[in-house]
Amino acid sequence: MTLAHLRDIMISLCLGGVAMAQLVVRNLENAVKVRLQRRARRHGRSMEEEARDILRNAVNEDDVPVGGLGTEISALFTKVGLDSDIRELRGHEIKPASFES
């Protein structure tokens, strides 16, 4: 079972933080269980609480924009505005950088 699958299950269980639901995960590989136990031990909590935390974080990652670098840079300047048009750069000769002095 992948984190994406667990996230999808958690999404179906989230009811505004009011109601609590139970989740049974079947056919979990033993290696995954062992790693979850170790991770829970490292964080000083039960395996169940560790799984809840992982699911919570996976669901919250859905709120992160999935655009590329250009989209993220553009989002930084959406409220700034421009006073003039941006010049078209097509047709200009491309010159390689020179690193010799």
Q: How far apart are CA 57 and CA 14, in angstroms?
A: 13
The token duo for 74 is 């553009």
pLDDT for the residue numbered 35: 94
The token duo for 101 is 């002095």
pLDDT confidence of 88, banded at 50, 70, 90?
confident
Q: Are 23 and 59 in contact (CB under 8 A)?
A: no
pLDDT for the residue numbered 7: 65
Q: Which amino acid is at 36?
A: L
Q: Are 27 and 1 in contact (CB under 8 A)?
A: yes
pLDDT for the residue numbered 49: 92
Please write the tens of the pLDDT for every residue from 28-83: 899 999 999 999 999 999 999 999 999 888 888 666 666 777 787 777 777 777 77
Q: Are 25 and 48 in contact (CB under 8 A)?
A: no
pLDDT for the residue numbered 70: 78
pLDDT at 17 over 80: no
pLDDT for the residue numbered 50: 93
